[in-house]
Amino acid sequence: MYDGDIASVLISEQQIKDKVTELAKQVEEDYPNSGDLLLVGVLKGAVMFMTDFARALPQPAQLEFMAVSSYGSSTSSSGVVRILKDLDRDIAGKHVLILEDIIDSGLTLSWLLKNLQARNPASLEVCTLLRKPDAVQVDVPVRYVGFDIPNEFVVGYGLDYAERYRDLPYIGSLDPKVYTSGA
Ligand code: XMP
Ligand code: MG
């Protein structure tokens, strides 16, 4: 699949699976007797992570999705965020855990945290599968991090380039020829 577009596999399917299990265990330990957790997945990138995480979590959780778009180029964000799809429910008094695919500059997440905090949840934390080193440029409190990865554009397991590659079961770095060929 996508022959030649992936320069290298950064995180294998098995490594993702093991990490999701490990993150779910940590969350399970941190939220004893909290009632149903409310997982907020950020569309579309976090879809695979969300569905795998929810099934790996030993306690009941409810699933909500939000879609945001940050203005900027296709490979970097500006921090100006627009809600494309809001939550369907009120989160006041709920224990909310945001599930993110990747934190790059941190600008999108920083905006999202402020937006959701204003809705008065009982608690609000972030669990991201991937984080790039640039994330330290904006101070966003991220409780759970799957993998810190190098500053390369990655795709797969929900992450896209121009809506492609989301369906890859692993995370790979995209061969730069893909975004320089004009395809
Ligand atoms: P910021 O910079 O606001 O960006 O933390 C977060 C969003 O940018 C996208 N993003 C990527 N998407 N491969 C992708 O497919 C990447 O390497 C990558 N880096 C950032 C992503 O939508 C994320 O939510
Ligand atoms: Mg994207």
What are the Cα distances from residue 113, in Å, to 14, 89, 92, 107, 123?
Answer: 30, 16, 14, 10, 11
Maximum distance among all Cα pairs of the chain, rounded to whole angstroms:
53
For residues 87 and 168, what is the distance between their CA atoms, to the nearest angstrom?
Answer: 27
**For residue 29, how far is its CA from the centre of ligand 2 (angstroms)?**
31
ipTM: 0.90
Decide: 156 and 10 in contact? Cβ < 8 Å.
no
The pLDDT tens digits for 50-104 are 999 999 999 999 999 999 987 666 666 667 789 999 999 999 999 999 999 999 9
Residue nearest to atom 22 of ligand 1 (CA): 45
The pLDDT tens digits for 119-142 are 999 999 999 999 998 777 788 899
DSSP 181: S
Which CATH number is 11-70+79-154's, of 3.20.20.70, 3.40.50.300, 3.40.50.2020, 2.30.30.100? 3.40.50.2020
For residues 7 and 70, what is the distance between their CA atoms, to the nearest angstrom?
Answer: 27
Pocket around ligand 1 at a 6 A CB cut-off:
45, 70, 77, 101-109, 153-155, 159-160
Tokens representing 52 are: 């795998």
